[in-house]
Amino acid sequence: MEKRDSEKLIIDQTAYTTRLSSRFASRKPYAPPVAGKIQSFIPGTVVEVLVQLGDTVKEGEDIVILDAMKMKNRLKSHLDGKVVAVNVKPGDRVTKGAVLVEIV
């Protein structure tokens, strides 16, 4: 087994001296999703961006078409608002969670 030093883990306000698992040590702190960020739920390729900077959009409207898993996925807006940022163009390869378009 690899040598890992003991650290502190706090449970119910009591600090325990123990080794931490690599999964726990490298976990991402929770960040609540922001409604206006249209993010890719899967890695893929942008096929088409259906809006332009300044457009007014309604909740449920298609914003980006993302090619992934052999499907043309339509990413929709979660709110009524205005397009304040377009971060991708057709042909761009994006990672999971990339912010493609921002709406306020």
Out of 9, 65, 85, 99, which residue is the one contacting other proteins (CB under 8 A)?
9
Q: What angle do CA 82, 84, 86 make, to 5 degrees?
A: 115
| Residue 102 β-bridge partners | 37, 85
Q: What part of residues 14-73 is at the interface with other proteins (CB under 8 A)? A: 14-21, 23-24, 27-28, 30, 42-45, 68-70
Choose between 29 and 54: whose C-beta lies nearer to other proteins: 29
Q: Give CA separation, 10 vs 7, 13, 16, in Å.
A: 10, 6, 6
Tell me the number of residues near other proteins by CB under 8 A.
Answer: 28
Q: Evaluate whether 72 touches 52 at the Cβ level (below 8 Å).
A: no
The one-letter code for the residue type at 2 is E
Choose between 42 and 53: whose C-beta lies nearer to other proteins: 42
Given the rule CB under 8 A, which residues bind other proteins? 1, 6, 9, 11-21, 23-24, 27-28, 30, 42-45, 68-70, 93, 95
